[in-house]
Structure 1
Amino acid sequence: MPNLKTIAVVDDDPIYIQALKNLFTSWKILNPVLFFENGKEVLDFIRVKEAPALPDILLLDLNMPVMNGWAFMENFAPIATQLNKNISIYLVTSSIWEEDSKRAEKNPHIKELIVKPILQKKFREILAG
C-alpha cells in the first residue's frame, strides 16, 4: 500500500466541504482527510498531536469565523519548527485580492495560494509534491 499523505481541510462552508468529499470520492482519492471548521480547531489539533498524526497537507481557507486563515498563519509560525514535521500549507480561497496573493508569497510557510474551486489536476500536483 502506498504511503498516503494525510490532508487537512480547514473551511467553514458546508457546501464546499460536501463538494470536496464528493470530488475526492469521484477522483478516487484514498488519502486520509481531516476536516476542521476554522483555524483555531486545526491549530489546537496541531498543538496536541505528535508528528505522525499531523497532516502532511493543509488546505486552508482565508475567510472563516473564530480564527481566519491569516490569524492561523500568525499563530502557526512560532510552533512550526517544533513540530518535527513539515506541513505543506496551501491557501485555498475565493479571494482574488492581489494583496492576499502578495502576502501569501511572502510567508515562508505557505506553498501556494489557490483560487477556488480546486481542480483535479492541481489537487493531484499537490498530492504528488
Structure 2
Amino acid sequence: MEDMNKIVYVVDDDEIFHFIITKMLRQQSDQLTVTSFLCAEEALEKLSSGPQSQLPALIILDMNMQRMNGWDFIEAYRGLKSTLKNTIPIIMCSSSVDVRDMQKVQHTPELMAYITKPLDKNKLKVIEEYL
C-alpha cells in the first residue's frame, strides 16, 4: 500500500461486519479511512455529491441489503461513473455461496472480486490488492 491516505467505502447493512472489517483494515494500514454506509443509497449520494478529491480507492459492497441491494448499487453506479474522475474498483462481499451469484460477478466488469463472509487473512489479502 502507498503511504498516502486512502478512503475505503464499506457498504453493508450489518453493523458487526463494519466493525470487523474496519478493525482488520486498520491493522493493515493506518493510512486508511474507512467510511461506513449502512445502506447503498447513502453511498451513492456521497459518490455523486462529494468532492472528487475524496473519492474512495475501493468500495466493499454487500450483495444482500434492504431496499437497494449490491446489484442495484452497481446499476446505479454505472449511471454515475462517467461523472467521476476515476473508476473505483468494487469488491463484492457476501455470505452467499450460490454459484449463480459468483457467475454473475464474473460477468460484471465493475466487480474486481467476490469474497465470502466471514473475512479471514486470505480474503483480506484480496482486498489489499486493490488498495
Question: What's the TM-score, normalizing by structure 2?
Answer: 0.87
In structure 2, C-alpha distance between the alignment counterparts of 1:58 and 1:37, rounded to whole Å: 13
Give the total of aligned pairs.
128
Cα deviation, residue 125, structure 1: 4.0
Cα deviation, residue 28, structure 1: 4.2
Counterpart secondary structure, 2:6: coil
Structure-2 residue corresponding to 1:107: 108
Q: Which runs of 4+ in 1 moved over 3 A?
A: none
Matches within 5 A, 1:69-84: 69-84=70-85
Question: What's the TM-score, normalizing by structure 1?
Answer: 0.88
Contact kept in structure 1, 2:11 and 2:62, CA below 8 Å:
yes
Gaps of 5+ in 1: none
Matches within 5 A, 1:1-129: 2-25=3-26, 27-30=27-30, 31-129=32-130
Matched AA of 2:29: I
Contact kept in structure 1, 2:22 and 2:34, CA below 8 Å:
no
Matched AA of 2:91: Y
Cα deviation, residue 78, structure 1: 1.6
Matched AA of 1:77: R
**How big is the alpha-carbon RMSD for the aligned residues of Structure 1 and Structure 2?**
1.7
Matched AA of 2:41: K
Q: Percent identity?
A: 27
In structure 1, C-alpha distance between the alignment counterparts of 2:97 and 2:85, rounded to whole Å: 33
